Structure 1
Amino acid sequence: MGFLYETTNFTGWGIWFFVLFALMAFNEFGRSTKWGGIILFLIIPIMLTIFVWPITAAPGNEYGTGNWFNWVKTYSAIAGCLGFMVLRYNPSLTKKKWLLYFPPFILALNIFEASIRDFQCFTYGAWNGEYINNLWVMSGPWNIMNGVAGLLNIITICGWCGIFVSKDKTKDMIWPDMIWPWIIAYDLWNFAYTYNCIADHSFYCGLALLFSCTIPAFFIKKGAWLQHRAQTLALWIMFVMTVPSFADRIAPVPTTHNSIAFFIVSFLSLSANIILAVYQFNKIHKNKLNLLKDEIFVETTAYKKVIKENK
């Protein structure tokens, strides 16, 4: 941990694991019943918007939660959760192909917002690192590298016309073409984004948050990664907007502020997304596929397993 983050103790790791398992538990509550989702992603956000966030996420507050990005990210994540619930509990809507553009749109929007933020951090010119809007930022080529990686990640979103609702009682939104190569490339990009732009918070909003949706996607409900991601992201950012002092005062684990670490993290992100883009477009060209209509990974074991378990 000494390369990416300052060394933390057992208490710090205990808090990290608590955050991880809490996000996973609330994600399960939100997906297991309709009312669980309504409570978490409609009723609670309305109450927080009216009574809490105008105070805890006010513009210019000392924790940096009052900037445009936090507010946009909060409501776009919540909108994604609610939109996915509409599709999940009205499965006939998935037969209307134009409605299936909503999941990739909300996903692409979230990635694009973060990519713009990376580019914005580069324009600050904080080459030696400084506090800007109460968040520590170090500008550098890593911002450009990872911003480009995010744009590549958007381009490689594929197979959304194959989205359907699972046959079991949880009625999950299943996206079978979103298999592990894309998920890993996304995780590397998103971790690099948090490391670049929310550096001293990324121990939680990078590592813990990404594990909280990747673990369920691989071991609990395969094929539902986007649903897991939207719900855990919404849960985390609602918590941060409500308790903005958490990562700075209550349980801080700062990065080492090492420029080499910033470069390596973004280099891995960019490399993974270049490899993914080359691989996917080679498959599209070789099999003469239509990116807007066809699924790419139908012949893979991962795709077939998701179909077998959910249709």
Structure 2
Amino acid sequence: MTLIDQAVTTREGEELDTAAIDRYMKQALPELAGTPKITQYPGGASNLTYRIDYGPRSFVLRRPPHGRIAKSAHDMLREARIMRALKPVYPYVPDIIALCDDHTVIGADFYIMERLEGIILRQNFPRELDLSEADTRKLCINVIDKLVDLHKVDYKAAGLDNIGKGEGYVKRQIDGWSDRFRKAITPDVGDFEAVMSWLQEKMPDDVATCIIHNDFRFDNVVLNPDNPFEIVGVLDWEMATLGDPLMDLGNSLAYWVQADDEGPFQMMRRQPTHQRGMLTRAEVVEYYQEKSGFKVDRFDFYEVYGLFRLAAIIQQIYYRFYHGQTQDKRFAGFGHACKYLEMRCQKLIDKSEL
């Protein structure tokens, strides 16, 4: 079925050693036979994700990107361990099959997980997915509900009380992302100093502490191909931690480009949130707060934070491209995107009544 998410030919410079992978896989799963076929998932701009096929059996391998990596970023083993612990209480997490910290295999930590066969919505709806406006709204709400469900997980009962520091999360994020942005700055982007100063001045106390995903988007959600309203998986748990749920929502809304947004933001759209029937950002905030019970009078701080954090992530990736540490041409325009996000943050700050 063409709706099912497909891997493609591995990008130049990001190939895996097939023989090394084959040896490792057969140590982990001795029943495997034959030579693996390795392809790469084209989505994502950070960690690298591959599909490994042994005949009808399919697996997914996740490894960090090449080049300079920010300290504490791209910790594949931590991601896999969180997924293992979360799976019993949040069933949308894929099963972890193996973890590898032996760099002689592929030169980096990696893990192997089950492949979830399904639809992943990227920039636009697939042509074969013919949804009415009402259907689109239903799908949108179902996806938001999975974020609400995650935030309601009892992290202590799940044994996940050690995955983050918890209280004080808001301040740590503003301090941390400000530091990371300054360390990744290049001469052709803005300095975001006014934005960072505003965030420091306006930061609220945490509204709660819960498990947060930190990258919850449509292209990290897997839909049942036989019933696209059903979510069968949530992917990319690298940045999951204990933190403030409204900060998590702010992160998600940084990617939520709606139909009436201006052109430069539309060019950054990575998910079909512009489709008729999708909730607007304001409607998402209202719906989420009603369902979760986590409420604030104004969401301005969290929206600006989400955009600034996205800019910092983009700038870290662009830094690697700017200095020739990756040749991935997708990253060539990230400097322009970062400059636009600074302007967008400033517009929101200028209108804010905080």
Tell me the TM-score normalised to structure 1 length.
0.32
**More relative contact order in 1 or in 2 (CA 8 Å, sep 6+)?**
1
- Higher-Rg member (1/2): 2
- The structure carrying a bigger helix percent of its residues is 1
TM-score with structure 2 setting the length: 0.29
